[in-house]
């Protein structure tokens, strides 16, 4: 089967000493019957050891496609084209551009150097194989252990992620576990080879708040233990405030704001980010009847027919015709470590509460 078409341009393959990942100008486009669909465009960011980056935005903003593109889990050519660079520092210290790697080499990277916890564990786990065999598979492939030794390590991993009676659970099928336990199994699989990078795509969406808190606490403790870098994809801004070091807001396939957590929550510069924050229920105002919960009007634009200029302009309360729709805004450095894609951010900043 042919590999995904990639851009093998000769950009410098280098990372700072404490960096695990550097994504540079990543773009992902799909070929559809209706034409070329640009799902992700010119996404760039870096991630340091032990750091958590949260990707937020509405459904269809490009968060999950970005994560799948990093690990080259998108469809292959001619259905998908990936351009840019994804530089990853492996466990052996080598820095490789994942976009340029052949598929055989990528199989060595997935699970060992970078791993992913998928959004829905019931569809990600194989229903006809026992949990123990699925956790042990990556261990046998990457570590070269025999079946018995791999199952022993799998039991240790299940115990690590808080599954009771792990030896017995090795023989369970996914449908015999609760949603929280299935998610813990997915985390155990992702951590089985102690990767440098963990991508967690909505790992708590289908869980109740108690189990969600346990999963978040588990990820935090495991990260402290292993010093792995984490990309956390979520719609829940409350979760972002709790676990993330930096936030990257995406809209219509592009980064529209990027900053450390406190500056972004305290003084967001992009109108879209402000809209997301206003749509979060506030406990201090609950039941007081002071104001209705705000909502961003309209929907994410069709990627096959994007609007001219700023992609958020058709939904923005601060749109200025002839300026916002004239050209795509750049991602400006507004403050130290704080970038924003808006032509009016400077004049609107005075009104930020």
Task: With 0.85 as the threshold, say if the pTM is over it.
Answer: yes
Domain ranges of the chain: 5-244, 280-351
Report the share of the chain in percent with pLDDT over 90.
Answer: 57
How far is Cα 85 from Cα 72, in angstroms, rounded to an integer? Answer: 12
How far is Cα 236 from Cα 117, in angstroms, rounded to an integer? Answer: 17
Element (H, E) at 214: helix 209-226
Task: Give 66-78 pLDDT, tens digit per residue.
Answer: 999 999 999 987 8
Per-residue pLDDT band for 4 (boundaries 50, 70, 90) equals very low
Please, are residues 40 and 66 in contact by the beta-carbon 8 Å criterion? yes
Per-residue pLDDT band for 235 (boundaries 50, 70, 90) equals confident
Residues 6+ apart with CB under 8 A from 193: 111, 112, 115, 138, 139, 142, 143
What value, to the nearest 5°, has the Cα angle with vertex 211 and ends 205 and 213?
A: 85
Whether residue 203 is predicted with pLDDT greater than 70 in this model: the reply is yes
* Domain 5-244 sits in CATH 3.40.50.150: no
């Amino acid at each position: 089967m042919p590999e995904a078409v990639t851009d093998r341009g000769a950009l410098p393959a280098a990372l700072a000493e404490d960096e695990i990942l550097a994504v540079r100008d990543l773009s992902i486009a799909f070929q559809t019957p209706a034409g070329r669909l640009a799902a992700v465009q010119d996404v760039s960011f870096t991630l340091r050891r032990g750091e958590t980056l949260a990707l937020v935005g509405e459904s269809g903003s490009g968060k999950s496609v970005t994560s799948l593109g990093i690990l080259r889990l998108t469809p292959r050519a001619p259905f998908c084209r990936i351009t840019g660079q994804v530089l990853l520092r492996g466990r052996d210290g080598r820095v490789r551009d994942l976009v340029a790697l052949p598929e055989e080499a990528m199989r060595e990277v997935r699970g060992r150097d970078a791993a992913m916890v998928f959004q829905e564990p019931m569809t990600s786990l194989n229903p006809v194989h026992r949990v123990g065999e699925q956790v042990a598979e990556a261990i046998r492939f990457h570590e070269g252990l025999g079946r018995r030794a791999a199952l022993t390590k799998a039991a240790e991993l299940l115990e690590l992620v808080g599954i009771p009676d792990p030896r017995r659970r090795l023989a369970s099928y996914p449908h015999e576990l609760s949603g929280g336990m299935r998610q813990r199994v997915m985390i155990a699989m992702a951590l089985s080879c102690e990767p440098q990078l963990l991508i967690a795509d909505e790992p708590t969406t289908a869980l109740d708040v108690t189990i969600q808190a346990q999963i978040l606490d588990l990820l935090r403790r495991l990260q402290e233990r292993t010093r792995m870098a984490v990309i956390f994809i979520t719609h829940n801004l409350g979760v972002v405030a709790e676990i993330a070091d930096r936030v990257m807001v995406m809209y219509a396939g592009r980064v529209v704001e990027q900053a450390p957590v406190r500056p972004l929550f305290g003084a967001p510069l992009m109108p879209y980010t402000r809209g997301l924050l206003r749509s979060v229920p506030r406990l201090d105002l609950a039941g007081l009847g002071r104001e209705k919960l705000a909502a961003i009007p309209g929907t994410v634009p069709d990627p096959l027919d994007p609007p001219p200029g700023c992609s958020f302009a058709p939904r923005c309360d601060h749109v200025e015709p002839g300026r916002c729709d004239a050209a795509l805004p750049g991602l400006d450095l507004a403050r130290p470590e704080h970038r924003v894609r808006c032509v009016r951010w400077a004049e609107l900043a005075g009104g930020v509460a």
